Structure 1
């Protein structure tokens, strides 16, 4: 819809292999995003389709696709904010049309009603700040539509008077709506925004006020190598795709560019949102490759046709054929113009209109070759070399995607592997721990651990946990963090009140496992201290440094987490790690 079927085919082929999407859709690691990204792209496609056609049918499908996205993933707020921004951009740049109205108005009305039917969303579809932008742009769109409607009915003088009235009423309505929205969100400590949304708008918000969000590794900012890992060579094709979208700029291409800009910003805040950037990168890369192949193949065809026409071997019969072909082409060109002259010849004398038509026809004939001359034609060597380079680039991308799918995103989280000079090492400790809980504890026993292992304990050991990966209850997680940060007696009292029989901790000090609970411990302190003020992070730091050796603080050395991880650690058999 933006740049033709060729660009769409290229983008689909690239998106099918992009590592960022494979990380969420690989077999054995399905997540909500596996279907949510399809719903996201399908909603954007139907929106652009409605922009191009102005069809109410596609607008209805767009609202249904948005409902599918709401049911799939909480990231639906990205849609309901990006589309209003694009609509507002079109209005500001003077690109308002009835197609824009049809593409947006049904989405807001029908989409909001359908979203409210989802139990998890409910009245949040109209009560939270994430949705207010769509309502405000909805009002602005109707004011602009009313202005255009009145302009078509009134004279310019009356239109100025009506314009003043409409602007006055429109501003009054907008201020009233804004005042109501401010009153609704003023009572909320987060001003109607969710913690994750505020973390996107202010990257430092989570670390200051909601450490549970900042503690998740997926919510950390990405590193530069992660971009190359997840989108690979697409990062170098995106600028070419952006340039192509501006030649010429349309409503569809401007939406693609806006999608990319917002996705790049959000992916820079949270590494998890690289998943949202990947489709935009694939779309623009597909546009760039399609345009490049179009220019290169056209150049090859032109150079080949020119080579065959100028070939010295085309003597004798071939020269006769070429000369006859040239005469046929010239005669056909003459025959194409002569019938117009013969048809208009008897009418030229009595009518002046036919003379104007003849001039228009004569002027329209040489316009076509001028347009053809404007097409970019490269030399044969450069065109062939460019095609080969693009093929090699595509092959490198395919190899990288296959490697990422096989090595980086297909490893199970229960069984860990590592490579050293001795070869491949398999760590089966997680599975063994869950098997021990399954075989040596009662079915009704409760297990306390950090929330990272909640789902695994429930699925592998079939035991009840206090907290799990669904981190919606911050108080429960803070309670477990407080128990882990407290001395043994205080921790026992907390766990006893929760009816906990076993405590699970992960320690990797013997093998150098970097993601054990000791490395996560400061997050437990921060989250626990956010609810229970007597837990203070400076009490666990020595001169601002996190120490777990003899230089550690007394609070650190006496807490439950330290005691469990380093229990009889000095009596272990020595291991040569050199």
Structure 2
């Protein structure tokens, strides 16, 4: 037989032989394989088309997986809206779909924040509602009958599929298609993103992550090409992002920071100048069309970094122009540039002193100083999403990505470019902010998937080169590399290890999605003694009790967590809700809850309260009831002038503990507070005697044996 010392290629499948193998053996095996594949029709396509088809197939599978893995809650419970904020979004979307955009934009809601009310159109980011309403009308145009509630329930899983596709294209711009496919598959199942995009989680983040990654992708394309077209597309994507989520502030600070770093590293060019100036000017004008944003892009401190970098771009371009014309006067040009920069800084400080530029918001301060909210704005610190992230949360929400993230960073540092510098900055900044605020784990998850996809792709590419998949020749032994005798075994081992970790990541993500992130807070579940699932539907039962057993003009006082749900499901007027825009009003409700019965009655008469709703979970160990939130009621209630008499230390035991067990002393203020009395009294009785006051109190308790415990006083 003739041994081939050069590569021999098949004319049908482009398969290449290994030098030193038998030509006849290669020809026979290849032809048999090609005949079988040709019968299937696959090899009738060219190699490039096969490659494209395979990529499209893998990406489609990732998109389908991204959608389907978020449907656990629908299969387990029903098509239901989750959490608290999504109920407000659903209510406003339904109003928009039924009444139209004009009525929606000018809607004054008199059932919220009694007696103040709320202007809906000017106090929300309308992107989520407009997207759902548009999709609803498009489906009905094609005679696809669907309820607006189901559109809201399945919108986040749908956009998660779009996110997987955008992640592929974004990562492809950073490395190659292989890394893009890995990143798309990872983001399809990453728990950190699934937590805010499961079916029924109808919140702004459901579409905002797609908008954010789309903006980043367009930005990288604009930076690489210097094209006004891609820059304009980036500005439009940014506009969609601004209309969808307040987290756009992170984006409008990251892009200027990227441009500034490119300046400092000597990478600033005409491409960057065209891209940033177009994005900033067009994006700022478009963002100001959102009523809730208004003039903030040119007035608030959060946006001044973008404005400052825009000014630096003009100075840098002007200096470059002068250098090309006046080489002998560089010192003079530099001097003038410095003077101009100092002048801009002084002008900024002057505007700030005059109040032309508003200071940073409390949430923005909290990102820079984690202790700021707790010490100055308790209402921000009381939100569980604003708490610092624990170390265990990183592994729980990211798993394998925690270990592959540094590998991707290392690759990007070794292959610095305008694009990789951007992803490095995105990864580092989001890592810091996610540590400060657990909610921003959502911002970290995409870049973790992108950098991990790059890292895994690089590892597999490195070891696949060392993997020998040719069949051993029985008559002649191949000459092994003496410097690396076991490279085939090492390569095989590393590939198997990576495959094992990827499979483990998939199983972990599926388990977390099923058990932790697919249970709506409004419908609780637990395991019985025999392992069967027990469903607690007390929340909806209580809200419907209010809807059918109270007057339509009744005013319900509860802690702000339940405001949106009461308005949407009970259709009753509430004093405070999850918007938390008026700290004084919330403080007044906290004072009523934390005060004694006599003082609480005075406050509730002042607020014209008809019913009070409290949540008690002591009988089943439900840890998110009002007793566990009581200290936040105390802190927020005592944060204003009218609540100065409320001191947190007065609600502790003599040993400095906050307890709700038998050690409680009847003399403690906590025991005599209205919140505790409503919860404690109804443990033993569901029918109470009427008090002298005309205010009605209803108490909701999460318990396993009594499902309807709404008691009227």
1:455 matched to which residue of 2?
A: 564
1:436 matched to which residue of 2?
A: 545
Question: Which of 160, 164, 172 is matched with 2:331 structurally?
Answer: 160
Question: Which of 364, 370, 383 is matched with 1:197 structurally?
Answer: 364
Question: Which of 533, 546, 552 is matched with 2:658 structurally?
Answer: 546
Equivalent residues of 1:546, 1:552 under 8 A apart = no
1:175 matched to which residue of 2?
A: 345
**How many Å apart are 1:312 and its aligned residue?**
5.4
Question: Which of 495, 503, 513 is matched with 1:405 structurally?
Answer: 513
**How many Å apart are 1:314 and its aligned residue?**
6.0
Give the structure with the higher percent helix: 1
Q: 3-state DSSP class of the match of 2:506?
A: helix
Q: Deviations over 1:290-319 (max 9, x none)?
A: 11221222222xx346x76xx45369xxx9
Structure 2 CA distance, aligned partners of 1:275 and 1:224? 15
**How many Å apart are 1:87 and its aligned residue?**
1.1
2:235 matched to which residue of 1?
A: 63
Counting only pairs closer than 5 Å after superposition, residues 480-519 of structure 1 correspond to structure 2 as 480-519=589-628
**How many Å apart are 1:56 and its aligned residue?**
1.2
1:299 matched to which residue of 2?
A: 466
2:573 matched to which residue of 1?
A: 464
Cα gap change, 1:446/1:32 in structure 2, threshold over 3 Å: closer, same or farther? same
**How many Å apart are 1:569 and its aligned residue?**
4.2
Cα gap change, 1:475/1:377 in structure 2, threshold over 3 Å: closer, same or farther? farther
**How many Å apart are 1:275 and its aligned residue?**
0.1
1:325 matched to which residue of 2?
A: none
2:494 matched to which residue of 1?
A: 386
Equivalent residues of 1:541, 1:553 under 8 A apart = no
Equivalent residues of 2:536, 2:704 under 8 A apart = no
**How many Å apart are 1:378 and its aligned residue?**
7.9
Q: Deviations over 1:59-97 (max 9, x none)?
A: 111111111110000000001111111111111111111
Alignment of 1:313 with 2:478, yes or no, is no
Q: 3-state DSSP class of the match of 1:555?
A: coil
Structure 1 CA distance, aligned partners of 2:515 and 2:682? 36
**How many Å apart are 1:117 and its aligned residue?**
0.8
**How many Å apart are 1:269 and its aligned residue?**
0.8
1:534 matched to which residue of 2?
A: 645
Alignment of 1:149 with 2:311, yes or no, is no
Structure 2 CA distance, aligned partners of 1:576 and 1:384? 54
Q: 3-state DSSP class of the match of 2:629?
A: helix
Q: Structure 2, unaligned stretches of length 5 or more? A: 1-172, 687-702, 706-713
Equivalent residues of 2:546, 2:570 under 8 A apart = yes
Cα gap change, 1:105/1:177 in structure 2, threshold over 3 Å: closer, same or farther? farther
Structure 2 CA distance, aligned partners of 1:165 and 1:257? 33
Q: Deviations over 1:119-142 (max 9, x none)?
A: 000011211110011111111121
Equivalent residues of 2:373, 2:381 under 8 A apart = yes
Structure 2 CA distance, aligned partners of 1:469 and 1:160? 57
1:475 matched to which residue of 2?
A: 584
**How many Å apart are 1:413 and its aligned residue?**
1.2
Q: 3-state DSSP class of the match of 1:16?
A: helix
User: Which has more radius of gyration?
Assistant: 1
Q: 3-state DSSP class of the match of 1:535?
A: coil
Task: Work out the number of aligned pairs and report it.
Answer: 507
Structure 2 CA distance, aligned partners of 1:70 and 1:243? 32
Q: Deviations over 1:498-554 (max 9, x none)?
A: 222111111122222221111111100111111222222122223332234433653
Cα gap change, 1:141/1:489 in structure 2, threshold over 3 Å: closer, same or farther? same
Q: Tell me which moved more, 500-509 or 72-81.
A: 500-509
Equivalent residues of 2:666, 2:672 under 8 A apart = no
Q: Deviations over 1:303-355 (max 9, x none)?
A: 346x76xx45369xxx9xxxxxxxxxxxxxxxxxxxxxxxxxxxxxxxxxxxx
Cα gap change, 1:103/1:419 in structure 2, threshold over 3 Å: closer, same or farther? same
| TM-score between both structures, scaled by the size of structure 2 | 0.68
Q: 3-state DSSP class of the match of 1:519?
A: coil
Structure 1 CA distance, aligned partners of 2:604 and 2:586? 13
Structure 1 CA distance, aligned partners of 2:667 and 2:389? 32
**How many Å apart are 1:571 and its aligned residue?**
7.0
Equivalent residues of 2:525, 2:535 under 8 A apart = yes
**How many Å apart are 1:33 and its aligned residue?**
0.3
Equivalent residues of 1:115, 1:121 under 8 A apart = yes
Q: Tell me which moved more, 79-88 or 383-392.
A: 383-392
Structure 2 CA distance, aligned partners of 1:218 and 1:7? 32
Equivalent residues of 2:653, 2:668 under 8 A apart = no
1:559 matched to which residue of 2?
A: 673
